[in-house]
Structures are given as C-alpha cells and as structure tokens.
Amino acid sequence: MNQQRKLVILIIIAAVSLLIALVLTAVASNPLGSQFK
Amino acid sequence: MHDTDTRLARINLGLICFIIVVWFYIVVTPLAAQINIWVDGFAGQKDRLSRLLDDPKGSISQSNVNRLIVPGMLLDSAIQNSDKPDLHENVWHLPESSTPNQGGNTVLVSDRFSYNNAYGNFYFLDKLKPGDKLGVVWRQKLYHYKVVDSKTYSAHQNDPLAKESQQPSLTLYSAGPLWYQNKRLVVTAQLTDPQ
C-alpha cells in the first residue's frame, strides 16, 4: 500500500477514535450529578 | 519522490502513535482502579480498614469528620453535607434521608466511574455481599452496619431513596453496572450496634 493511501486511512481511524474518546468523556462525565441538581 | 514517501511515512507513524494513545485512554481508564488495587493489594487494604472498625478503643469515632468506612470497597471517605453535592469527590448524605443518630433510613450517594474520575468513591460498590461489615462515624459516634441486600434499579425509579425503614438502615446509592448510566446500584445495610 502506498504511503498516501495509508495516510488517508490512518486519518479516518484517528478521527473516529478521537470522536469515540470525546463522546465517552462527555456522556459519562456526570453519571449521577444531574439527578440530584 | 523518495523524499515525499519518507515524509509521509513519518506522518503515518505519528498518526499510528496517536491512535494507540487514544485507544489506550479509552480501554485503560475504566480499568485504572482495578490496576491500582492489583498493584497495592486488595486484601492488605481491606484488613487495614477492617481493623479500624474492630478497634475496641473506638479511636476512629474521635474523628470530628463524619465518615463512611467500607472495607469491602476499600473506602474510607468523609461524608459531605451540602445542598450542592460534588459526587465526583465526595460521599454525599442525601438531605431528605435520615441520619444514623436518628434511626430510619440514611442514604449516602457517590459516583462509581466516569472518564473524568476513573476511581470514584463507590467504584467497588458491586463487590459488597450480604454480611459484609461497614461503619459510619456520625457526630463522633461509630455505627456498625451489615449489608443485607444489593439490587439494580432503573435510574428513573426513585423508590429505593424514598424507602421508609422501621429499623435503622443505611442505603448506598450509585450508578451501575459501570457501563450502564441508566441503571442504579443500591446496597442496603442494617444497623448491628452503635459503639
């Protein structure tokens, strides 16, 4: 696989991974707090 | 052409490292508490907290701070009395509930896990089994409890918090299982004897 094609695939994987990490951090940041506000 | 390939190869290597770091964060963060306990040793810490509860001199009850001590969860934490709970950092006494010195049902709430706080006070709440001992220091008096029940409820079901109890009891309330934010794990304990 040439390096350019590899770069495109890695950018997509990196973006999806970052998105998963951000969503998990945001969604699971305050599991109980809102219930007792 | 060769220079461009070399440069792209370096960028690709950097991206691979970045992806590994992100996935390390995603996978390892929920296990941080387990790893911490594995390194420090669960049994040793549990014994140390059990000795605090079993101390015949009751030196723990001389503490000016209200505290919850649960050897089975490796927990020794101050209890927060406030209208604005900080469940990440503290064990919070639900103001509508009773207190150990008044009898009735005392409700204590805290977080188990979030990516912002991987090792919450109640992380090991699921490890408690019927018969496990725990203690609450309340107004310089140590109250001993024994776990009688552990159940999972829907987050929208507030019944366990409103539960009236004839016997003096303690309810520990948190989210759980770890990955289900819409569920609540509720452990009930009954008073065995105040010191």
Decide if pLDDT at B112 tops 70.
yes
Decide if pLDDT at B136 tops 80.
yes
Reported confidence tier of residue B172, pLDDT bands at 50, 70, 90? very high
What is the average pLDDT across B73-102?
89
Q: Work out the burial of residue B59: count CB atoms within 10 Å of its CB; fewer than 13 is exposed, 13-18 middle, 19 or more buried.
A: exposed
What is the average pLDDT across B116-123?
87
Query: What residue of A is the nearest CA neighbor of B84?
Result: A37
Query: What residue of A is the nearest CA neighbor of B26?
Result: A21
Buried/exposed B140-175: b ≥16 CB within 10 Å, e otherwise: eebbbbebeebeebeeeeeebbeeebeebbbbbbbb
- Is some CB atom of chain B closer than 8 A to the CB atom of A34? no
pLDDT value at residue B135: 94
What DSSP element (H or E) covers B145?
Answer: strand B142-154
Which residue is listed with tokens 């009236």?
A: B164
Decide if pLDDT at B195 tops 60.
no
What global pTM score does this model have?
0.83
A36–B87 CB contact, under 8 Å: yes
- Per-residue pLDDT tens digits for A1-37: 688 999 999 999 999 999 999 988 887 666 675 677 6
For residue B77, what are its two tokens?
Answer: 């934490």
Rounded to the nearest integer, the mean pLDDT of chain B is 87
B114–A30 CB contact, under 8 Å: yes
